[in-house]
Chain A
Amino acid sequence: AQTVTQSQPEMSVQEAETVTLSCTYDTSESDYYLFWYKQPPSRQMILVIRQEAYKQQNATENRFSVNFQKAAKSFSLKISDSQLGDAAMYFCAPGLSNSNSGYALNFGKGTSLLVTP
C-alpha cells in the first residue's frame, strides 16, 4: 500500500474554534481523488469531503474545507466553528493505484479529535 501519513494521533479544539488536521501521502500519479472520512463513537464511517486532484480549487462542505497542495502531496482538513458532534476519529484516504488493489482507498492511521465545551 502507498504511504499515507497523519502526523497528529490526537487533537483537541474548543467549541466554536477552528482546527486543522494534516495528511500527507506518497504517489507518482497525477490524477486521483482524495477523501476525508469521519468515524464517531458509533463506529459508522461517514464521508466528510472529497477532492479531485486535477481541480485547483479546494473543496468545501459547510464548515469543512480542505487545503490541497498537490506538489507537496498534502491534503489537510479544516473544521471551522467546531461543534461537540465533530468529536470523532478522522481518516485521510487518498484513492491511489497500487499493484494489489487498484484504486481502493489507502487510509491513514487516523486523528482522534476531541471537542471541549
Chain B
Amino acid sequence: DVKVTQSSRYLVKRTGEKVFLECVQDMDHENMFWYRQDPGLGLRLIYFSYDVKMKEKGDIPEGYSVSREKKERFSLILESASTNQTSMYLCASRRGGASETQYFGPGTRLLVL
C-alpha cells in the first residue's frame, strides 16, 4: 500500500514565524503536490513537483515556497506565517501522469495566531 505521511496532524504557530510542513511518500512516486483545503472552497493547489529539485506553482502559491531535495520528501514552507494561512494542508503523491491515482496524506491542520 502507498503511504503518504505528514509530519504533524495539528500545528499552532504565531504570526511571522517560519513554518515547515513535511511530507514523505514511500512508493518512489515522481509527482508530489501540496493543497490547502478550506470550507466551501474545496482543495486548491499550492505547488507541485514532478522530480527532485523541480517545482511548479499551482493556483495559489503566494506566501508559500517548497523544497524537494529527495524524491520521497516534499516540504511546504511558510516564510512568514499569517492568519489567513490558517487552514488544512494536504500532501499527495502520484506515479506518472494524469491517469494515475493521487494518494493523499492525513493532512495537517495549521492554526496561525
Residue positions of A touching B, CB distance < 8 A: 1, 4, 6, 9, 32-33, 35, 37, 42-47, 50, 52, 91, 95, 97, 100-105, 107-110
Contact = CB atoms under 8 A, between A and B. Distances in A.
A100 B56 contact: yes
Interface of B: 33, 35, 40-45, 48, 50, 56-59, 88, 90, 92, 97-99, 101-102, 104, 106-107
A102 B101 contact: no
Contacts of B35: 107
Contacts, number: 65
A47 B101 contact: yes
**Does more than half of chain B's interface fall in helix, strand or loop, or is it mixed?**
strand
B7 to A, nearest CB: 15
A50 B79 CA distance: 37
Given A45-B90, A101-B48, A95 B98 contact: yes
